[in-house]
Amino acid sequence: MGNEILVFVLGQAFGIFALICTVVSMQLKKHRPLMILQTASEAFIVAQYLVKGAFTGMFLAMVSFVRDVIFTHYGKKRAPFWILLIIYALMTALTALSWAGPLSILPYVGSLVYAYTLWYGKVKWIRFGNAVGNTPYLVYTILTGNYVLFVMTLFEVLSAAIGFIRIDLLGKKTAKKRKK
């Protein structure tokens, strides 16, 4: 019983650290710090899935971690398109291998959308892609009964949406008013 409690506590702690990294990253204006926190978040997600023995989730998170490391390396300069295609192929293969019915499409599509916006590299679109790409995850977590992950993903989507509105939409209007 003590081992089960340790697994539960570690899993929740890694999830909370991942959430903090993601929520903070969506409020940043610069590409590199945003990507570093996104990469850290993926590392915590890998650890969370590993502790819980959820290996399919762990493998998908590992692809996302590697994706984030590569895209962080390239910075604002876009990585070659073939790298995005390899990431897509890995995500497709892992989704096919772990297929659990039509619900599997939701996280797959969300992952594709977010991978594209990370590859594209503009911070504004990374925030937008996070909000849009995680929306299918919201549906997936509700339908699969993973309510804790639903709350965490909801915070992530809200943070990305707030960052997009605050920095990318309203921030530009405020800057234009100051110039006048």
Q: Mean pLDDT over residues 150-172, rounded?
A: 90
Cα 1 from chain centroid (whole Å): 32
Q: How far apart are CA 37 and CA 70, in angstroms?
A: 14
Enumerate the H helices of the chain as residue ranges. 2-25, 31-52, 55-74, 81-97, 105-120, 123-143, 147-163, 170-179
Residue 7: its pLDDT value, please?
84
Q: Residue 77: helix, strand or coil by DSSP? A: coil
Residue 180: its pLDDT value, please?
60
Please say if the pLDDT value at position 1 is more than 70.
Answer: no
Residue partners of 138: CB distance under 8 A and separation at least 6:
150, 153, 154, 157
Q: How far apart are CA 131 and CA 127, in angstroms?
A: 6
Residue 38: its pLDDT value, please?
94
Q: Mean pLDDT over residues 149-170, rounded?
A: 91
What mean pLDDT value characterizes the chain? 88
Q: Mean pLDDT over residues 30-43, rounded?
A: 94
Q: Which two tokens stand for residue 13?
A: 């702690």
Residue 163: its pLDDT value, please?
93
Residue 127: its pLDDT value, please?
92
Q: How far apart are CA 59 and CA 62, in angstroms?
A: 5
Range name among 17-21, 52-56, 64-68, 151-155 with the lowest pLDDT average: 52-56
Banded pLDDT at 11 (limits 50, 70, 90): confident
The radius of gyration of the chain's CA atoms, rounded to the nearest angstrom, is 17
pLDDT in tens, 67-76: 999 999 998 8
The pTM for the full model equals: 0.82
Identity of residue 67: R
Residue 150: its pLDDT value, please?
85
Residue with tokens 């990469």: 39
pLDDT in tens, 132-142: 999 998 898 88
Residue 48: its pLDDT value, please?
86
Is the separation of the CB atoms in 117 and 125 below 8 Å? yes
pLDDT in tens, 104-117: 898 899 999 999 99
Closest CA to 28 of 37, 18, 15: 37
